[in-house]
């Protein structure tokens, strides 16, 4: 299961009619949704144990289901696997919040404004320097540079 280019865990088993690829895609979307929630929702994932599965959820929304088949494929207990997955999901969602959160966006805007101001300053310097340079070049109009005479003797 890949979120933002990082592999969190492998989905190996079908769950009902969902293939491992479909499950991974759905869970990735839910992790992205979770990352857009307040930080306390990201850290407060819960696990509900059922007969054949464990559900990882945030308040009232199921993030993923860990089935007995998943635990068997991983060679671990379902409860331990669900805890590990919940931890990885929480870490990934928090990392996404940090990467795309308000603080990052504000700093990006600030850096963009600073770069724009510096570019405008460079344009202003060019605007003040080039008229003088043009006058100097214009004053040379009609002046011919002669070849040095190498035949003269000292």
Q: Which domain holds residue 123?
A: 102-138
Q: Are residues 89 and 112 in the same domain?
A: no
Instruction: Retrieve residue 140's tokens.
Output: 């040379």
The contacts of residue 83 (CB under 8 Å, 6+ apart) are 47
Q: Are residues 25 and 85 in the same domain?
A: yes
Total domains, the chain: 2
pLDDT in tens, 71-126: 999 999 999 999 999 999 999 998 988 887 777 788 889 999 999 999 999 999 99
The upper half-sphere exposure of residue 114, i.e. CA atoms within 13 Å in the direction of its Cβ, equals 6
What mean pLDDT value characterizes the chain?
89
pTM of the model: 0.65
Q: Are residues 47 and 24 in the same domain?
A: yes
Q: Are residues 73 and 127 in the same domain?
A: no
Q: Are residues 34 and 70 in the same domain?
A: yes
Report the share of the chain in percent with pLDDT over 70.
95
Q: Are residues 47 and 82 in the same domain?
A: yes
Residue 54 near residue 66, CB atoms below 8 Å: yes
């Amino acid at each position: 299961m890949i979120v933002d280019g990082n592999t969190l865990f492998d989905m190996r088993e079908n769950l009902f009619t969902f293939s491992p690829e479909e499950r991974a895609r759905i869970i990735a979307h839910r992790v992205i949704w979770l990352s857009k929630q307040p930080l306390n929702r990201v850290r407060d994932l819960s696990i509900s144990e059922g007969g054949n599965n464990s559900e990882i959820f945030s308040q009232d929304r199921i993030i993923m289901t860990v089935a007995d088949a998943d635990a068997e494929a991983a060679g671990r207990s379902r409860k331990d696997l669900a805890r590990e997955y919940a931890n990885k999901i929480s870490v990934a969602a928090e990392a996404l919040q940090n990467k795309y959160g308000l603080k990052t966006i504000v700093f990006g805007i600030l850096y963009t404004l600073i770069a724009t101001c510096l570019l405008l300053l460079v344009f202003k310097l060019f605007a003040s320097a080039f008229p003088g340079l043009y006058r100097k070049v214009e004053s040379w109009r009609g002046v011919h540079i002669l070849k040095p005479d190498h035949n003269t003797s000292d």
